[in-house]
Chain A
Amino acid sequence: MKTRKRIRAAFAVTAALGLAVLFYSCKKTVTLKLNNAAAEIVIQGEVTDAPGPYTVTINQTVGFYKDNTYPPISGAVVKISDGQGETDSLTETATPGTYATHILQGRSGNTYTLSVFAQNKQYTAVSTMPALVPLDSVTFETTSGFGQHQTNAVVNFQDPPGIKNYYQFMEYINGQLFNKEFFIFEDRLSDGRYISNTLYMDSTYLQSGQDLEVKMYCIDENVYNYFFQLNQSGGGGGFNTASPANPVSNISNGALGYFSAHTTQSISVGVPNQ
Chain B
Amino acid sequence: MLRLACRLGYVNSQTKLHLMQRTRSFLSFVLFSFPFFLAAQTRHTVSGTVRDKKSGETLIGASIVLLGQSRLNVLSNAYGFYSVNATPGDYKMVVSFTGYQPDTVAVSLVRDVVVPVELTAEGAQLQEVVISANRNSNNVTKPLMGVQKLSINEIKDIPVLFGEKDILKTIQLLPGVQSGGDGNSGFYVRGGSIDQNLILLDEATVYNPSHLLGFFSTFNSDALKDVTLYKGAIPAEYGGRLASVLDVKMNDGNSRDYHASGGIGLISSRLNVEGPVGGDDKGSFIVSARRTYADVFLKLSKDTNTNRSSLYFYDINAKANYKLGDNDRIYLSGYFGKDNLGLGNTFGIDYGNSTATFRWNHIFNSRLFSNTSLIYSKYNYDIKINSGNNDIGITSYIRDYHFKEDLQYYANASNKINFGIDVINHTTSPGVISATESSSYNPITVSDKHALETAAYFSHDVSVSEKLNMNYGLRAGLFTVMGPGKFYTYDSSGNAIDTASYGSGSIVKNYFNLEPRFSVSYKVTDVSSFKVAYTRTTQNLHLLSNSTSSNPTDVWIPSSNNVKPEIADQVSLGYYRNFEANKYEFSSEVYYRDMQNQIDYKNGAQLIANENVESQLIFGKGRSYGLELFFKKKVGKFNGWVSYTLSRTERQFTGVNNDSWYPANQDRTHNLSVVAIYKVNKKWTLSADFVYYSGNAVTWPSGKYEVNGQVVFLYTERNAYRMPSYNRLDVGATLQGKKTKKFDSNWNFSIYNLYGRENPYSISFQQDPGDASKTQAIQYALFRWVPSVTYNFKF
Contacts and interface: CB of A to CB of B under 8 A. Distances in A.
Interface stretch (A62-70, A82-90, A121-129): A62-70
Nearest to A28: B779
Residue of A7, A189, A257 with most partner-chain B CB within 10 A? A189
A237 B701 contact: no
B344 A243 contact: no
A69 B665 CA distance: 32
B765 to A, nearest CB: 7
B69 interface: no
A94 interface: no
Interface in B595-620: 600-601, 603-604, 606, 609
Interface string B1-30: 000000000000000000000000000000
Contact of B703 (A64, A191, A244): A64
Interface range, A side: 35 or more
Contact of A177 (B551, B709, B718, B778): B709
Contact of A61 (B269, B304, B703, B743): B703
Given A40-B703, A237-B698, A26 B784 contact: yes
Contacts of B699: 235, 243-245
B723 A237 contact: yes
Interface in A1-39: 3, 6-7, 10-11, 13-14, 17-21, 23-32, 34-37, 39
A205 interface: no
Interface stretch (B219-227, B484-492, B676-684, B767-775): B767-775
Contacts of B715: 233, 235, 244-246
Interface in B772-792: 772-784, 786-791
Nearest to B776: A29
Nearest to B767: A68
A23 B761 CA distance: 14
A68 B775 contact: yes
Contact of B743 (A3, A13, A19, A64): A3
B638 interface: no
Contacts of A60: 705
B266 interface: yes
B149 to A, nearest CB: 32
Contact of B713 (A18, A191, A233): A233
Contact of B442 (A59, A177, A192): A192
Contacts of B784: 23-24, 26
B499 interface: no
B94 to A, nearest CB: 40
B36 to A, nearest CB: 54
B780 A242 contact: no
B409 to A, nearest CB: 46
A241 to B, nearest CB: 6
Given A64-B703, A244-B715, A26 B388 contact: no
A30 B777 contact: yes
B439 interface: yes
A65 B520 CA distance: 56
Contact of A145 (B306, B551, B791): B306
Given A141-B388, A235-B765, A242-B665, A37 B723 contact: no
A-B residue pairs, 8 tightest by C-beta = A238-B762, A229-B604, A37-B702, A10-B791, A237-B762, A236-B764, A145-B305, A18-B266
Interface of B: 181, 262, 264-267, 269, 297, 301, 303-306, 309, 343-344, 346, 387-390, 433, 438-442, 444, 546-549, 551, 600-601, 603-604, 606, 609, 665, 696, 698-716, 718-721, 723, 742-743, 745, 758, 760-767, 769, 772-784, 786-791, 793, 795
24 contacts: A3-B793, A7-B791, A23-B783, A25-B761, A29-B776, A36-B703, A37-B716, A64-B702, A70-B705, A144-B306, A147-B303, A154-B388, A194-B440, A229-B603, A232-B603, A232-B604, A234-B765, A236-B698, A237-B181, A237-B696, A240-B547, A243-B718, A244-B713, A245-B718
